[in-house]
Structure formats: structure tokens, C-alpha cells
């Protein structure tokens, strides 16, 4: 016989769940309140303190919607302004994606509710969170945008453990801290005493260990005397408006802008010049008018030139289009290139378009690119440039592969003009920082409208452009010489281990409930 649940103050719990969602968003860039992440989940945990797993699931879903609708609102700008979709379609797309992402937070709330009062519940809570982040990052092509650990990208001492555990290690610590704060505020004084006696010392030890490890790496990098020869590098940010970027009448002005900015760095004597993704709004491979000028510019500057351009191949009578990064060396006419491997769903290709004809109509607005064939660095001389195009920088496995292939400098070319003046460029930059730390390789980041940046192997942003400005960044980059990190070699062992632990605990809970029935 079913019994009614106790009065759970539904309005209060609803507001607490929404508050958690909003606090989570505040913790991410462009704000400067990353410390909020360390208690953002507490209101949600309070709201589910006496809730059944089903009610906790609902509250988690509401909290997730409050979070993701305010975090990735910029999708409306991308789809409505530049994708030429109706505002209602753009809103529906935002809601649909937010619902999907909120489901993971809902599962977290439900699972956390199931282990109330059990031993090691705070550790299990953090395990559940990391396991769900890992699933979100890999299922359905993956969408690891703004995982919780990314909120701390400016806390250099803290994030150095990313070369061991990836961003998931930081997420684990944050959720553990949230659980401990919640436990201290909980009604059950006995559990509060247990937490203060056992779990607080564990958290303090983990944080202290992370900070000591971070201090060692950050201070060690400043006094590293084994560093190799630095490379003078210029990043060209032309700030080309997306609304005119692909207008054939604007092609010449685009080229002249890039040439002018590149020549303005002549006194710096750059050895490497990087332009953003699709900086050439035409097919470089067969442009009789502009392509020769690119070779002349590389020869004139005496620098290696990297730039983005669309490309195509004819394969068995069909034409396949690619989002490509080219490299021209000053001393040869030979061109090397890399084709983007991880495409943006509905942005660069339409999933299942052969089987869902009504989705196929979006192709003209969304684009239709093919996946590149191989992920390898662009090599010239002693430089091995691991190129990541646009949001490939948010996928750690791509950067790890490039590091294992010998990349000693990461080059991230992107076109964040799609986002306009929103929070997305700030969020995008924060995630790129972790790729440098995880693999102990510097990163050169060139963005069409910003943020372009030089990122050290410690994650320190040495210099950064302004958003929506025409700018040239100049800096010396020292290719990475350190051995492959644990994370570069073995990847997400930490997250996978927590996924296995979480799965085992869920099976245990189901088995116990079945026996009780």
C-alpha cells in the first residue's frame, strides 16, 4: 500500500533547486566568482534532503533547466541570427538541448537521494557526478561543454592535477566540498559529527595535496632551465563580421585586412603566424586569384603560416567538404593540412539526415562537412603543431592523441564570431586552458573575433586579446619538451574508475531493494 510523502514544502524546494541552477551558471565565465561553484549544489541537496528518489529526480531536472537555459542561452544567437532559423525554432532547440543536459543533473539528484545515510555517501556523491560528466562527454558524440571543474580555470595551483585526472579531478573535489557543506547544515547532527570527524579531514588532505602538487608545477615551470628554443609567434585577429564573412564581394577586403595585420608584426620577426578558423572565406586549394598571395606572404614574412579555409575532395563522383587548417612554410611551396575530425552536430553536419528527411532541410543553414581522415600534427623542422579546430579544444582525447603523436605546441584556431557578444567565447577559452595543463604543452589560440591567447603549459594565460576587436598578439612560445603526462598516456582512467564504482553501487542498491521487496 502506498503511503503519502511527508510535507516537503514544495515551493521552498522548487526555489532552492532553481537557486542551485543559477548559482552553477554564475560560477562559470564571464563572471569572476568561481568560488560559488564550491557551494552551488548545496540548495539542491537541501531541497532533496527528505525527498523520495522520484521527487529528487524532478527537482534535479528543474535545477538543470535553470542552469543550462542560462548557461547556453547563446545558442539562440547562433541559430536565429546566423543560422537564419525562426526565433521559435531557435528557442525550441535551446529548450531541447537544455532538457537533455538537465537529465544528467536529474540523475545525480536521484542517485544521491538513494544513498542517503549510507557509508561514504559524500564520496559516492562525487563519484556519481564525475561518472555522469564522463557519460555526458561521450554519449551521442559528446557535449562536454562547461563541466564543473572548468569553473576553476584561473586557479592555477588547483588545476595542475589535470595532468593526472583531467578536469574530472577538479569536479570531484568541488562536489565533495558541496556535499560536506550540505552535511554540516543538515538536520541530522549525528551525520554532521561523522562528516566533521572523517570526511572533512579527507577533503582537507585532498585539497592540500592538490595545492602542493600545483605549487610544485607552477613554481617549477618558472625556473625551468631545460626549456628549448622559443618561437616568435604572431596571432592575427581580424574581427571579420560573420554576417559578411561569406559574401563574395567582401573576399578581397578580408584578405587585405589579414595581410595588413600580418605585415604590422614585421618588426617582431615572427617565425610562426596563426590566422583563425576559416579565415579565408573561399576554397584556398583552387583560388587562382588569392592563393598565390598566401605563398608570397609566407615567403615575405619568413614565417610558417597557419590559416583556416574550407576545402573539398571528389570521391567516387561525390564532393565532400572539409573544415581545414593549412600550413605553408616560407621556404617551400608544399602545403600541409589537417581536416577537422570532431564536427559540430547541426552546426557542421546534420546527424541521421539520410534517415530523417525532415531534418535534412536544415542542411543549408547548418552546413554539411565531412569528417577528416586522420588526427596528426602539422610538422615542419623542429616544430610539431597539434592543430585543434574550433570546439575540438573542448575534447581532451583529441589533444591527448596529438600529444602522443609528438605535438610540442597546440594551435587552436576558431571562429567565435558565431557567438557575438555573449558568454560563449569566455566559456570556450576556459576549456582550452585545460588542454595545455593536461598535456604540459603551450597553446596558441587564434580566434576571429576573440578571444585569441597565448596559454602556458601551466594554464596561465600569458596574453589575451579583447573581444570583437581587430588585434595582433605577439609572443614567444617555447615548444613543450617534457615527457608525456600520465593523463596524455592513459586518459580518463580516473573518470572511468568512478563510473565503474558508481555502476556497482547502483546495482547494489537495486539488489538490496529487490531483496527487501
Catalytic residues: 277, 340, 390
Best CA proximity match to 235, nearest among 293, 297, 305: 305
Distance of CA 291 to CAs 286, 287, 307, 326, 455, Å? Answer: 7, 5, 12, 12, 30
Q: DSSP letter string over 172-195? A: HHHHHHHHHHHHHHSS-HHHHHHI
Please name the helix (run of DSSP H) or strand (run of DSSP E) that holds residue 428, with its range, or none: helix 424-439
The answer to whether the beta carbons of residues 475 and 454 sit under 8 Å apart is yes
- For the beta sheet containing 231-237, the strands, ordered from the edge strand earlier in sequence to the opposite edge, are 335-339, 318-328, 304-315, 272-274, 231-237, 471-477
Residue 443, φ and ψ in degrees, nearest 5: -130, 135
Assess contact for 168 and 494: CB atoms under 8 A: yes
Contact of 283 with 337, CB cutoff 8 Å: no
- Look at the alpha carbons of 271, 289, 259, 321 in this order and tell me if their dihedral is positive or negative: negative
Amino acid at each position: 500500500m502506498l503511503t503519502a510523502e511527508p510535507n516537503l514544502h514544495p515551493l521552498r524546494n522548487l526555489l532552492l533547486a532553481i537557486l542551485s541552477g543559477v548559482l552553477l551558471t554564475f560560477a562559470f565565465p564571464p563572471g569572476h566568482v568561481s568560488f560559488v561553484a564550491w557551494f552551488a549544489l548545496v540548495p539542491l541537496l537541501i531541497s532533496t534532503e527528505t525527498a523520495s528518489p522520484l521527487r529528487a529526480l524532478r527537482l534535479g531536472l528543474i535545477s538543470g533547466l535553470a542552469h543550462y537555459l542560462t548557461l547556453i542561452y547563446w545558442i539562440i544567437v547562433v541559430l536565429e541570427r546566423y543560422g537564419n532559423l525562426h526565433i521559435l525554432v531557435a528557442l525550441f532547440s535551446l529548450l531541447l538541448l537544455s532538457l537533455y543536459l538537465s537529465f544528467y543533473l536529474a540523475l545525480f539528484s536521484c542517485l544521491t537521494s538513494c544513498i542517503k545515510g549510507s557509508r561514504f555517501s559524500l564520496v559516492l556523491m562525487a563519484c556519481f557526478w564525475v561518472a555522469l560528466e564522463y557519460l555526458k562527454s561521450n554519449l551521442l558524440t559528446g557535449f562536454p561543454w562547461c563541466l564543473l571543474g572548468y569553473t576553476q580555470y584561473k586557479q592555477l595551483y588547483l588545476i595542475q592535477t589535470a595532468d593526472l585526472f583531467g578536469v574530472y579531478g577538479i569536479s570531484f573535489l568541488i562536489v565533495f566540498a558541496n556535499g560536506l557543506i550540505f552535511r554540516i547544515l543538515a538536520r541530522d547532527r549525528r551525520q554532521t559529527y561523522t562528516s566533521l570527524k572523517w570526511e572533512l579531514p579527507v577533503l582537507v588532505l585532498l585539497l592540500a595535496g592538490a595545492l602542493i602538487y600545483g605549487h610544485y608545477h607552477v613554481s617549477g615551470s618558472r625556473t625551468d632551465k631545460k626549456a628549448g628554443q622559443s618561437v616568435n609567434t604572431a596571432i592575427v585577429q581580424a574581427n571579420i563580421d560573420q554576417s559578411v564573412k561569406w559574401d563574395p564581394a567582401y573576399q578581397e577586403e578580408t584578405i587585405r585586412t589579414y595581410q595588413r595585420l600580418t605585415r604590422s608584426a614585421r618588426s617582431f620577426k615572427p617565425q610562426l603566424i596563426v590566422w583563425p578558423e576559416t579565415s579565408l572565406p573561399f576554397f584556398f586549394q583552387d583560388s587562382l586569384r588569392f592563393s598565390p598571395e598566401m605563398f608570397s606572404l609566407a615567403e615575405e614574412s619568413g614565417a610558417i603560416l597557419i590559416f583556416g579555409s574550407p576545402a573539398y575532395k571528389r570521391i567516387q563522383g561525390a564532393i565532400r567538404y572539409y573544415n581545414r587548417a593549412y600550413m605553408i612554410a616560407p621556404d617551400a611551396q608544399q602545403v600541409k593540412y589537417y581536416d577537422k575530425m570532431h564536427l559540430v552536430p547541426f552546426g557542421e553536419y546534420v546527424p541521421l539526415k539520410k534517415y530523417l528527411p525532415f531534418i535534412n532541410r536544415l542542411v543549408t543553414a547548418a552546413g554539411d562537412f565531412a569528417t577528416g581522415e586522420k588526427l596528426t600534427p602539422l610538422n615542419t623542422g623542429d616544430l610539431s603543431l597539434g592543430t585543434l579546430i574550433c570546439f575540438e579544444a573542448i575534447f581532451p582525447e583529441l589533444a591527448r592523441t596529438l600529444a602522443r603523436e609528438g605535438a610540442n605546441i597546440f594551435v587552436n584556431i576558431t571562429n567565435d564570431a558565431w557567438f557575438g557578444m555573449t558568454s560563449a567565447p569566455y566559456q570556450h577559452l576556459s576549456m582550452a586552458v585545460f588542454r595545455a595543463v593536461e598535456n604540459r604543452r603551450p597553446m596558441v589560440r587564434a580566434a576571429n573575433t576573440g578571444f585569441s591567447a597565448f596559454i602556458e603549459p601551466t594554464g596561465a594565460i600569458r596574453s589575451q586579446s579583447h573581444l570583437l576587436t581587430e588585434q595582433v598578439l605577439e609572443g614567444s612560445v617555447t615548444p613543450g619538451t617534457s615527457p608525456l603526462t600520465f593523463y596524455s598516456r592513459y586518459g580518463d582512467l580516473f573518470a572511468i574508475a568512478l563510473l565503474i564504482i558508481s555502476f556497482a553501487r547502483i546495482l547494489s542498491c537495486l539488489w538490496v531493494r529487490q531483496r527487501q521487496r
